[in-house]
Structure 1
């Protein structure tokens, strides 16, 4: 019998950010693909618990270049792609309530960072008012990192189905 020692390098399932995807939704997909928590990701990346704040869309203070580089290295994603999951520093975010365009979500099921911009109340693509709660039971939406099933966590109505009750935006 051999007494060889095997060195297994740590591996992760690479997850690429989607166009316009929010940092919260992206981190949630990465967590699920790798069976990790935000805390574990932050610890392994060397940035600490700050990742759990980003999952909640709390971006004050704004992520530093060094934090983004460390996280990008750990999750094996280009830092530029990771940066695209964040708003530009000149845009004011509103982390609550979580907003959703159910029509967009029905087309591509992920949370867009632009929906959380403070001054954004409508979807420019569909000219629909953004939703802030379930159209069936009125439960506020959870953070996008927790959108594993794409449905209301209370009544289980799929987000895409909510588009039927999404109102046209009028000024």
Structure 2
């Protein structure tokens, strides 16, 4: 795989501890005023990034693919690997601990693990939908405003409703 040159305009984005790749890709795209499709073109990965955004990692990303992404986003390959799942995932339903999000607003990869149904830190059930209007949570890459896509309830406010579950 030929890795294209890094454009001079790329603004680096530092990943947060335990951040999911989906959330990181969304933040990176917003910071750099670009799209996932454009990242796919620049890295030579094409639609693969769209699969990763949706937590579809079968087949597993190759070292060459991770190196292409790491070069463009100006991270080490190991930093990208830390954003990938280390356990079996539940990728059909996005999960959220609103209490964690209120403390540090980003999606944690551990929330997507198949066996995770509670937050290890707050011991609350992970939200699978907005507790206010019951809309499914959007892909973490789309969490620009940190709100429900239907009723616009901020994720931070969902923590109070989460405690009663």
Task: Compute the TM-score of the two structures, normalised by the length of structure 2.
Answer: 0.92
- Structure 1 residue 167, shift from structure 2 partner: 3.6
Q: Which runs of 5+ in 1 are unaligned?
A: 1-8
Within the alignment, does 1:29 sit opposite 2:27 as a pair?
yes
| Mapping of residues 113-124 of structure 1, within 5 Å | 113-124=109-120
Structure index of larger Rg? 1
Once residues 43 and 93 of structure 1 are traced to their aligned partners in structure 2, the CA distance between those partners, rounded to angstroms, is 27
Once residues 36 and 101 of structure 1 are traced to their aligned partners in structure 2, the CA distance between those partners, rounded to angstroms, is 28
Once residues 93 and 107 of structure 1 are traced to their aligned partners in structure 2, the CA distance between those partners, rounded to angstroms, is 24
Once residues 113 and 64 of structure 2 are traced to their aligned partners in structure 1, the CA distance between those partners, rounded to angstroms, is 24
Moved over 3 A (4+): none
| Mapping of residues 8-157 of structure 1, within 5 Å | 10-88=8-86, 91-157=87-153
Q: How many residues align structurally?
A: 159
Task: Compute the TM-score of the two structures, normalised by the length of structure 1.
Answer: 0.89
Once residues 96 and 52 of structure 1 are traced to their aligned partners in structure 2, the CA distance between those partners, rounded to angstroms, is 14
Q: CA RMSD in A?
A: 1.3
Q: Match of 2:4? A: none
Cα shift readout 1:44-84 (whole Å, capped 9, x = no counterpart): 01222100111111111121111001110011111111111
- Structure 1 residue 168, shift from structure 2 partner: 6.8
Q: Which runs of 5+ in 2 are unaligned?
A: 1-6
